[in-house]
Amino acid sequence: MSDLPNCPKCHSTYTYEDGGMLVCPECAHEWSRTAEAAAEGDELVVKDASGNLLADGDSVTVIKDLKVKGSSLVVKIGTKVRNIRLVEGDHNIDCKIDGIGPMKLKSEFVRKA
């Protein structure tokens, strides 16, 4: 019997190891053992530009002027954003900015207030 874990995406038992990666032949999902260990914690870890841990509901301050894609608006440096929500992905903060509306921000451009 194999000691390899089931696929985290489709829960298939037919996973195999390819180099340092684990692979599921049914859904073609690939992941590393370190990603598996982090997923077991099931906790999203997001840090701001200073290295402080962020959590849902925190307030942050923008540390760089950010252009809003598809618009002529700019989020100015020093803009305070309240009640953030952490999400997975490239832009890992969902928020609502007064005067602009709903936005997604990267955590590297904010500092915990």
User: Phi-psi bin for 33: left (phi > 0), alpha (psi -120 to 50), beta?
Assistant: alpha
pLDDT in tens, the chain (113 residues): 468 888 888 888 889 888 778 899 999 888 877 655 555 555 688 999 998 999 999 999 999 999 999 999 999 999 999 999 999 989 999 999 999 999 999 999 999 98
* Distance set, CA 107 to CA 8, 18, 62, 112 (Å): 26, 33, 9, 10
Q: What is the pTM of this model?
A: 0.62
Q: Let me know if 64 is exposed, middle or buried by CB neighbors in 10 A (0-12, 13-18, 19+).
A: exposed
Chain Cα centroid distance, residue 87 = 5
Query: Which of 33-39's residues contact partners 24+ apart within 8 Å by CB, and which partners?
Result: 36/5, 36/8, 39/8
C-alpha span between 113 and 34 (Å, rounded)? 31
- Grouping H, G, I as helix, E, B as strand and the rest as coil, residue 83 is coil
